[in-house]
Amino acid sequence: MSTTQLTSTLAAGAAPKARPHRPRWGLIALLGPVTAFLGVFFFMPLAIMAVFSLLEPGLYGGVVWNFYADNFGRILGWANGPIEEFDPVYLGILMRSLRIALITAALCLLVCYPVAFWVSRLPPRRRNFCLFLITLPFFASLIVRLYAWVLILRPSGALNGLLAWLGISDAPVGLIYTEAAVLIGLVYIMAPFMFLPLYASIEKLDRGLIEASYDLGAGRITTFRRVTLPLTLPGIIGGSILVFIPTLGNFIVPSLLGGAQVLMIGNLIEQQFLQARNWPFGAALAMLVMSVVLGLLMLYVRATLRRQATGTPGKEAQA
């Protein structure tokens, strides 16, 4: 929620405006409920997590109200006590999760960009039908759709059957419980989140600008690099953020398609909360993921502000 709000303000390049000094009761009435809701159900749990991450885990679950730095120490390296020890495996899982999220975003981009271009050039009726098709998966449960992938990828599954029938392989290929399987599942689930913002910015792209570029002597590749890409960059960035952040915290796909082989940070956090009953350590891991995401977003904001400061116009194409 907060990240999408952030990106939409960024995308709009909203400048602060001078406001008249009078209470706007209408505005307060409209925003009040949502603020109260988020305050109770978003910020409070977040605050609890932040506090828990610095408390000592109780022996049988729960917390002991002592300041305790070793939750982070186990991950980042300063814990060497008798109970809690630094283990590089946690950072390893975080790095793997970042890598998988990055590759997922890149693959989604690669898959969706040409499709979004194609769809945006269709006649209106077929275009709307395609957009409907893209939102169609949302009508079925995520878990059901992932089990379908299990059926496809497992050794006796559809894909292996196809490979055997085609004579490409005679023994079942190990597809499921690999990083590749996790990537397939993630790309499959996240692609619509890449597609929609991408489509929005590609559809707005004035075809006349591409023609102008050809007309001025630029070939296809130069035109793509210097006109199409910069003008669809807001969609690329928006889609990448929408894919990258949920992917980083995803634990359903790796637990169904990755098994114990491909553990992501989401699985680790889930284990800490539900199986190990070590809430403080789970909270510390969650805080770490959040700070990584916030750090990356800050870098992006700074880059955007710098771009605006150098006077590069970022306005939308006029008709």
Under the rule (CB under 8 A), what is the footprint of other proteins? 123, 206, 208-209, 211-219, 222, 226-227, 230-231, 311-319
* Phi, psi (deg, nearest 5) at residue 155: -55, -35
Alpha helix positions (H), the chain: 2-12, 25-38, 44-52, 70-76, 89-120, 124-135, 142-153, 158-166, 179-204, 207-215, 220-223, 229-249, 252-253, 265-274, 279-309
Q: Which is nearer to other proteins, 1 or 319 (CB)?
A: 319
Specify the residue, 79 or 119, whose C-beta has the smaller distance to other proteins.
119
CB closer to other proteins, 170 vs 215: 215
Give the nearer residue to other proteins in terms of CB position, either 123 or 167: 123
Provide, rounded to whole angstroms, the least separation between the CB of residue 313 and other proteins. 3
Nearer to other proteins, 227 or 256 (CB): 227
Minimum CB–partner distance for residue 310 and other proteins (Å): 10
Give the DSSP H/E element, type plus range, for residue 65.
Answer: strand 63-67
Could you tell me the smallest distance in angstroms from the CB atom of residue 80 to other proteins?
53
Choice between 87 and 316, CB closer to other proteins = 316
Of 24 and 126, the one with the shorter C-beta distance to other proteins is 126
Q: How far is the CB of 207 from other proteins (least distance, A)?
A: 9
Q: Quick count: other Cβ atoms within 10 Å of Cβ 318?
A: 5
CA angle (119, 120, 121) in 5-degree steps: 90
- Nearest-Å Rg of the Cα atoms of the chain is 24
Q: Minimum distance from CB of 193 to other proteins (Å)?
A: 25
Cβ within 8 Å of residue 95, ≥6 positions away:
none
3-state secondary structure (DSSP) of residue 137: helix
**Cα 197 from Cα 182, distance rounded (Å):** 24
Dihedral sign (CA 288, 289, 291, 295): positive
Distance in Å, CB of 105 to other proteins, minimum:
23
Closest approach of Cβ 229 to other proteins, in Å?
Answer: 10
Contact 210, 223 (CB under 8 A): yes
DSSP state, residue 297: H
